[in-house]
Amino acid sequence: MHLRVDVVREASQEVVDAFGRLLPQLSSTAKPLDREAVDRMVRCDANTVLVARTPEAIVGTLTLVLSPLPSGLRARIEDVVVDGAARGRGVAGLLTEEAVRIAREAGARTVDLTSRPDRAAANRLYERVGFRSRRSTVFRLPLDER
């Protein structure tokens, strides 16, 4: 499969449609994104939205978030999703490696990501790229359930 990774610069209909197709494969609770939501995400200075393309379609996406903090510039990888038909073909690896390259060039001290334990293939990929599991407690306050 011929793959290319691009930074998304605008909320084209192709990108909006890709998120509509891919996000439900990441989470059953993901809400559909309209063009305005995709535009807001793409235009946010903290975000770098990456897509993996074949000549036919967008087959994966990843969002890199860069945060300047008192402890230094930090990077976080969010919402990595690869189309089910393209899994196992190096898509997530290419997206992750490009995100790490961008974070390194920006001067980030670290790159963090979270992944559910049941995502065994994804977790093996992250370890191959060089990520290490940390002992940490992640707390979440769901604001949309109140």
- The whole-model pTM stands at 0.91
The string of pLDDT tens digits covering residues 1-21 is 799 999 999 999 999 999 999
What is the rounded (10 degree) CA torsion for 8, 53, 111, 73?
-20
Which residues is 7 bridged to in the sheet? 50
The gap from C-alpha 127 to its chain's centroid, in whole angstroms, comes to 16
Asked if the model's pLDDT at residue 120 lies above 90, the reply is: no
Asked if the model's pLDDT at residue 145 lies above 80, the reply is: no
Round to whole Å and give the CA distance between 138 and 109. Answer: 20
Rounded to 5°, angle at Cα 69 from 67 and 73: 55
Under CATH, which number does the domain 4-130 receive?
A: 3.40.630.30
Q: Please identify which residue in the block is written with the tokens 């190096």.
A: 90
**24: phi > 0 → left, psi -120 to 50 → alpha, else beta; which?**
alpha
Average the pLDDT over 20-29 and give the result. 90
Query: Domain residues of the chain, as ranges?
Result: 4-130
Top pLDDT among 47 and 145 is at 47
Q: Sort strands 47-53 and 4-7 into parallel, antiparallel or unpaired.
A: antiparallel
Average the pLDDT over 116-145 and give the result. 86
Query: Which DSSP symbol is given to 121?
Result: H
Q: Sort strands 110-112 and 72-82 into parallel, antiparallel or unpaired.
A: parallel
Q: Name 132's Cβ contacts closer than 8 Å, sequence gap at least 6.
A: none
